Structure 1
Amino acid sequence: MKKALLISILGTALALTACSDPKEANKDNFAKAIQTYLDTQHAVCLNFRQTGIALSFPKDSPYAAEDKYVLEADMASYEDRSLAFLRQHGLVSRSDEIIEGRRGPFRAAIYTVTDKGRPYLSGDKLCSGKIVLESIDDFTEPADTGMGMKASHVNFTKSYKDIADWAIEANPRISTGEKISDAHDLVLTNDGWKSYNMVIKNQF
């Protein structure tokens, strides 16, 4: 009786260990890894800064703040669609000022993220909407990548939620609750399955 009970306990423990092994290739582990990656993404993003023409300032300058973007006023005539859209919806404001530059004073166009837009500020963009994993549909058997890692290509279904009205207007193809097919590559690390994109990003 005691021997049978011991075998039963050991069998249960082994089963629980197998089920909770983060290195196993299964839908539960892949779902956690995919959702962790999706949590770093947004449904809709619009550029706040136009790369290549923005002026740079010392870190202690008020014009170097994360919520500001400064151009020479003459260049502001090339305002792109994203920035124009953000201004139109009150997410970004513009003021023209004379400021001191390396070659003396000049007229500048200063764009500032407004109180309305600040909750959406994410780096150089204004973003809205969360991405939710609905299901893991299928995945390839883990295989060596040739870079010392095992990888699996995962097909899944996702949906969007909490998208602001301005973001839906900016991208009418996106709607809350709509289910969309997508795919992502996962790699096996010493801590379990992770997004390939996140692993590579952390290495550089």
Structure 2
Amino acid sequence: MLKMKLMSSLKITRASAIVLLGVSLAACHGKSDPSPENFVKAVQKHLDTVDAVCVDSGPLPFDLPHYNGYVGYQEGQADALVRVGLLSKEPTSVNQNGRAIPGFHYSATDEGKKASRPNNRMCDGKTQIQSITWSSSVPDNAPVGTTVQVKYVAKLVERPHWDDEATLRKTHVEVLSTNDGTYNAENFLELTSDGWAVKQAWGTP
């Protein structure tokens, strides 16, 4: 009877060890699997570090000439940023070809200063990935350095209050275009020693 109990206990111990080993292996290698769950985590980690919506502002402040009865493309771009509260606009004189002509002086508002980023951009907002819609093929047990292209649907969860698409996209084609707050985008992911990570972004952001 004692022998049977010992054998039974030994079987349970071995079974437990196998289960624990399986869990351990899954914990070690699961994050490297080419799965939608891991791709979602990689994309979201990237999205958490970038602004959702950006618009080109040009170097600030700046002056533009104004030709009576004609609004140039640059002036139209600047005026769109004035309408959404990112820039202010004041009359001034602009020197052009050695003579002073009427124009406008544009500078960042307090809202514009908060949104100012490097490379003459104004940005804000946050995004939440909704789902992976497509991914290029990648083998199981892929080596570190493997890349995969993924396409996904994301949603603006924090839209800047100045992001008026109807006003901005007429002159700022770089502004994110959404449908009920959602949009399509894509990224390249690379397998690192710590799992999948965004390598190169395509589209916005």
Q: Distance in 2 between matches of 1:156 and 1:183?
A: 6
* Alpha-carbon spacing, 1:153–1:31, altered in 2? closer, same or farther (3 Å): same
Cα distance change on mapping 1:174 and 1:140 into 2, 3 Å = closer
- The answer to whether residue 112 in structure 2 is matched with residue 112 in structure 1 is no
Match of 1:149 among 142, 145, 152: 145
Aligned runs of 1:1-80 on 2, under 5 Å? 1-19=9-27, 21=29, 22-49=31-58, 68-71=60-63, 74=65, 79-80=74-75
**Equivalent residue letter for 1:136:** I
Residues 85 and 109 in structure 2, CA contact (< 8 A), matched pair in contact too = yes
| 8 Å contact from structure 1 (residues 47, 82) kept in 2 | no
Question: Counterpart in 2 of 1:184?
Answer: 187
Quickly say closer, same or farther: Cα 1:47–1:138, change in 2 above 3 A: closer
Compute the RMSD of aligned alpha carbons.
3.5
Contact 1:162–1:176 (8 Å) recurs in 2:
no
Residue 154 of structure 2 corresponds to residue 174 of structure 1: no
Instruction: Write out per-residue CA displacement over residues 81-100 of structure 1, whole angstroms, 9 at most, x where no aligned residue.
Output: 332211233321246789xx
Per mean C-alpha deviation after superposition, the further-off stretch among 149-158 and 34-43 is 34-43
Deviation at 1:142, TM superposition (A): 2.0
Q: CA deviation at 1:132?
A: 1.1
Distance in 1 separating the partners of 2:152 and 2:54: 22
For 2:129 and 2:149, how far apart are their aligned partners in 1?
16
Aligned 8 A contact 2:132 2:151 in 1: yes
In the TM superposition, what are the counterparts of 1:127-142 in structure 2 within 5 Å? 127-142=123-138
When the two structures are superposed, what TM-score results if normalisation uses the length of structure 2?
A: 0.62
Measured after TM superposition, the shift of residue 34 of structure 1 is: 0.9
Which is further off, 4-13 or 155-164?
4-13
- What residue in structure 2 maps to residue 85 of structure 1? 80
Counterpart code for 1:134: Q
Contact 2:84/2:163 (8 A) holds in 1: no
- Structure 1 unaligned segments of length 5 or more: list them: 55-67, 99-107, 199-204
CA distance in 2, matches of 1:89, 1:138: 35
Measured at CA, do residues 175 and 139 of structure 1 come closer, stay the same or move farther in structure 2, by a change above 3 Å? closer
Partner of 1:166, secondary structure, is coil
Alpha-carbon separation, structure 1, partners of 2:14 and 2:184: 46
Q: What's the CA shift for 1:33?
A: 0.9
Number of equivalences: 167
TM-score w.r.t. the length of structure 1 is 0.63
Secondary structure of residue in 1 paired with 2:55: strand
Gaps in structure 2 of 5+ consecutive residues: 1-8, 94-102, 170-175
Equivalents in 2 of 1:16, 1:28: separation in Å?
19
8 Å CA contact retained: 1:133, 1:158: yes
Partner residue in 2 for 1:59: none
Query: How much does 1:188 deviate?
Result: 1.3
Question: Following the alignment from structure 2 to structure 1, what is the Cα–Cα distance between the partners of residues 77 and 51?
Answer: 16
Post-superposition shift, 1:116?
2.2
1:26–1:166: structure 2 CA closer, same or farther, 3 Å change rule? same
Larger radius of gyration: 2
CA contact (8 A) 2:86 2:162 kept: no
